Amino acid sequence: MTLVSAYAFTDQKVKLNPDLLVIENNIGHGKEIGVKVFDERPEKTLGRRGAAQMSKRAEITTNQNVGEVFDLKIREGLTRKGFVPGSLSADSLRSL
């Protein structure tokens, strides 16, 4: 008797909607702050399903622009803290 077992994983698309937990206050006092988010990952896959030793693992991806998703949430958080998020200018001295 021979027993054969196989697993099939299918690629999945996800929708990103990060929760933003910010206690509102006015620490920013209306100060304008430049914001620009870059997604510099070498590949756009968010992750993979399946055992590491499997030859074909399923990819987890999104149709969304990840940088834009986080840019929006960061701006929302800064606004709740009393800042005025704006565009990042070429004259900006600091980056994170």
Where in the sequence is the domain holding 56, given as residue range(s)?
A: 12-87
In a domain? residue 74: yes
Q: Tell me what pLDDT residue 74 has.
A: 95
Q: Tell me what pLDDT residue 3 has.
A: 61
Any residues with CB less than 8 A from the CB of 4 and at least 6 apart, and which? none
Q: Tell me what pLDDT residue 73 has.
A: 96
Whole-number mean pLDDT of the chain? Answer: 86
Give residue 4's identity as a one-letter amino acid code: V
User: pLDDT per residue over 52-91, tens digit each?
Assistant: 666 678 899 999 999 999 999 999 999 999 999 998 776 6
pLDDT (mean) for 91-96:
58
In a domain? residue 46: yes
Whole-structure pTM value: 0.74
In a domain? residue 3: no
In a domain? residue 96: no
In a domain? residue 16: yes
Q: How many angstroms separate the Cα of 94 from the Cα of each of 8, 36, 53, 88?
A: 47, 12, 43, 10
Q: Is the dihedral of CA 51, 63, 41, 76 positive or negative?
A: negative
